[in-house]
Amino acid sequence: MIATWEMREIGGAFLLGGALAVAAALLAGYWLVRRFERTHARQRQFVSDASHELRTPLTAIRGQVEVLAREQQPEAAEVRRVGGVVLEEVSRIERLVDDLLEFSRLEEEASLRLEPVAVEPFLRRLAAEAPGGDVTLGELPSGTVRTDPERLTQVVRNLLDNAGRHAGQSGRVELSATAHGERLTIRVDDDGPGIPPAERERVFDRFHRSETARDRDSGGSGLGLAICRAIVDLHGGSIWVEDSPLGGARVAFEVPGFEGG
């Protein structure tokens, strides 16, 4: 027979084990609730920011249409002017919606289709396809990088588009890359007003807008650099802003998987 003290020990062990299990469940539940609250808060902020960004062009469209509606017989030149403004704002909404959908897909489908990509021809093609075709090529390494080519194309195109919109009077934009070991660094430089040090981390936030000349009337959705960071993060890399030797901003990112050729 089991002695009384042994039964007490067994009972105590069961009680202790049960208490620990309950404590662990409560702790797991607490962290789950906190995680849900943080996620919910981010979603609320995202919806709020997106609503604000959509309201701006819609307000502009409404204002222009109301001005036109007050005219009994508007002149043809005024109709064309308002039509041009409306089309520009509709294009802005389309870019914003496209970027919102892309950002949502990145958050829901956090996966990559990795394959080796020859770096030099890949970057040469993107430079040639850039709007305006005024991208200068700098140093390019010979070799391949194991990456998702579709996602990497998004990053480089977004950075080239961003640099092109913010370039100075001469419109100088340069694309270059270097490799150190298995790490590949790709850089996009422009000769625009640059980005102040205090803004350099925040430019990768969703819908971030600064008061600098670089951001005023830039025509972007406010999501391009946030999409770039999300894709680079998926690759296990990093992205940052620094001063450019061209006088403006340099946006650079580093990803693993490079192999020299």
- Sheet of 183-190, strands arranged across: 135-137, 173-180, 183-190, 249-256, 238-243
Choose, from 52, 166, 180, 235, the residue flagged as catalytic: 52
Crossing angle, helix 224-234 and helix 76-108, to 10 degrees?
20
Tell me, yes or no, if 40 is annotated catalytic: no
Report how far residue 221's alpha carbon sits from residue 205's, in angstroms, rounded to the nearest whole number. 12
Q: Residues 187, 119: contact at Cβ < 8 Å? A: no
Q: Residues 60, 84: contact at Cβ < 8 Å? A: no
Backbone Cα Rg of the chain: 26
Handedness of CA 66, 71, 72, 75 (dihedral sign): negative
Report how far residue 64's alpha carbon sits from residue 87's, in angstroms, rounded to the nearest whole number. 11
Catalytic site positions? 52
